[in-house]
Amino acid sequence: MRKIKYMIAGIGAALIMGSCELDNFDGPDAQVYGAVIDAETDELIQQEIGTSGDAATVQVIEYGYAIRKVQQWKLMVSGEYRNNLVFSGTYDVIMNNGNFVKLDTIKGYRFHKGENQLDFRVIPNIRIKEAAVKKENNAIVATFKLQYGHKVGKVEKVALFAQSDKNPSNSFNLARIETNIEGDNVDFESNSQNAGKVFTLTLDLNSDEGKKLKAGQKYFFRIGALPKDLGEGVQAKYNYSSVFEVQL
């Protein structure tokens, strides 16, 4: 009986040692960071807040596996991204689900050990130009111009979003005002005739929506513009201005 006990104990120890050896893989050894940049203006392309399902992502597929799963790295509001837990190796990189004209898949891109910078120079679907958001009397007034970058589709609507933190957007806001401008035909073909047109959005602080914002407090605002008809299978996402801070 004593021999049997020793044999069982020995087998158990061997299994434990074996399992430790199997789990002794190297951890992530690479960090990847970068940004989505307007190829014509060199500006960062503002994004939906990264925790939202509407947020754009950098999609990567790692080589070396029988089943190749898509990993998604969400963009921050600024248009930047960072992932510090990446395994060095070869990947396909896909950028086709953002608020910009999709890029061709980058095949066989190599992430090395340590820091890796990978920026994406793209054309935003819509540029929001010369934007301003101010308090005038008892209203918040946003003024801006629009420039269409995509080759198809047009602007469907524009909106002003208010939030108590620095991430106002379509998905996260305390108050909003929007208007449909399909009739203005802001698209690639009519950029020249619309280039000088100033759009205005006014949030009346006495309205039901405006009363959601409290006097004496500070709020953050962003202007958004949503395209439509970008092509089959393309999900329209808001393009945004930078963030404006206003004291009520």
What pLDDT was estimated at residue 65?
83
H helices within 102-248, ranges in order? 191-194
What pLDDT was estimated at residue 24?
54
Q: What angle do CA 180, 183, 189 make, to 5 degrees?
A: 115
Mean pLDDT, consecutive 10-residue segments, the chain of 248 residues?
A: 44 45 70 97 92 85 88 93 96 95 96 98 97 96 96 96 95 96 91 87 97 96 96 90 96
Choose among 76, 83, 66, 125: nearest CA to 101: 125
Yes or no: say if 236 and 224 are a contact pair by the CB < 8 Å rule: no
What pLDDT was estimated at residue 33?
98
What pLDDT was estimated at residue 191?
82
Q: What angle do CA 61, 66, 67 make, to 5 degrees?
A: 55
Look-up of token digits 């299994």: 15
Half-sphere exposure of 103 (CA within 13 A, CB side): 21
